[in-house]
């Protein structure tokens, strides 16, 4: 994983759920290779070489290159959904929960931009069964954001007639951060998250509180 994706001491190790250590090294190498070259242009030899292992060693842990991509995609989508559900179930008004969801979701896509590019933009490289599984996770992600917006409209906090279309726009805006974010740029992940939270509240037509 790139240096930009290293977490501060005391936080969870990236891909810590992947064991043994050799399998994690291969997965990290695959993330870097897929993000740099694209899934189809990357070979298993490329991945093994980046991990400092032989091509044969890869097949001890992953049957195919597609299985590696699926593992990356599943972990990434599970994390994204966890972030949104935590915000959705939090206390406070819909506007507060939506802002929290966007801030957290955007921050993750910025902090883990290399991983997020693979997770979000290599869906079509998955086999039918794995693709269907990830598409379902995406539907759940969409539903989590849509529910917050619906609740805001019902409570009179948001002035937005097209909830479904707005949900797609919100998620597209957030996800695209992974495509352009540069850790050497002028904004930090937290700053981008705050900016996007403000933009999204404008998108949903946040109403001023009653006097």
Q: Tell the burial category of 3 from Cβ atoms under 10 Å away from its Cβ (0-12, 13-18, 19+).
A: exposed
DSSP notation for the chain = --GGGPPPTTSPPTTTTS-SHHHHHHHHHHHHHHHHH-TTT--HHHHHHHTTS-HHHHHHH-SSHHHHHHHHHHHHHHHHHHHHHHHHTSSS-HHHHHHHHHHHHHHHHHHTHHHHHHHHH-GGGS-HHHHHHHHHHHHHHHHHHHHHHHHHHHTTSB--S-HHHHHHHHHHHHHTHHHH--TTSSS-HHHHHHHHHHHHHHHTTBPPPP-
Q: Please list the pLDDT of the chain residue by residue as tens digits (211 residues).
A: 443 344 433 334 568 889 899 999 999 999 999 999 999 999 999 999 999 999 899 999 999 999 999 999 999 999 999 999 999 999 899 999 999 999 999 999 999 999 999 999 999 999 999 999 999 999 999 999 999 999 999 999 999 999 999 999 999 999 999 999 999 999 999 999 999 999 999 999 998 765 4
What is the structure's pLDDT at 8?
Answer: 37
Predicted pLDDT at 2 = 42
Nearest to 141 by CA among 96, 92, 88: 88
**Global confidence as pTM:** 0.87
- pLDDT of the residue at 3: 37
Could you give the CA distance from residue 54 to residue 185 in angstroms, rounded to a whole number?
36
């Amino acid at each position: 994983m790139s240096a930009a994706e290293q977490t501060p001491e005391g936080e969870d190790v990236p891909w810590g759920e992947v064991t043994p250590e050799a399998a994690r090294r291969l997965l990290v190498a695959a993330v870097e290779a897929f993000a740099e070259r694209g899934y189809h242009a990357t070979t298993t030899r490329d991945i093994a070489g980046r991990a400092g292992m032989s091509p044969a060693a890869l097949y001890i842990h992953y049957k195919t290159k597609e299985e590696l991509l699926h593992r990356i995609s599943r972990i990434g989508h599970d994390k994204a959904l966890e972030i949104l559900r935590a915000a959705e179930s939090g206390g406070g008004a819909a506007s507060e929960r939506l802002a929290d969801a966007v801030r957290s979701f955007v921050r993750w896509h910025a902090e883990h931009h290399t991983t997020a590019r693979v997770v979000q933009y290599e869906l079509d490289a998955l086999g039918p069964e794995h693709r269907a599984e990830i598409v379902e996770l995406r539907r759940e992600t969409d539903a989590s954001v849509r529910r917050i917006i619906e609740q805001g409209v019902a409570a009179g906090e948001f002035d937005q007639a097209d909830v479904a279309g707005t949900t797609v726009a919100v998620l597209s805006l957030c996800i695209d951060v992974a495509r352009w974010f540069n850790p050497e740029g002028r904004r930090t992940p937290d700053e981008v998250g705050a900016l996007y939270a403000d933009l999204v509240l404008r998108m949903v037509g946040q109403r001023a509180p009653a006097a």
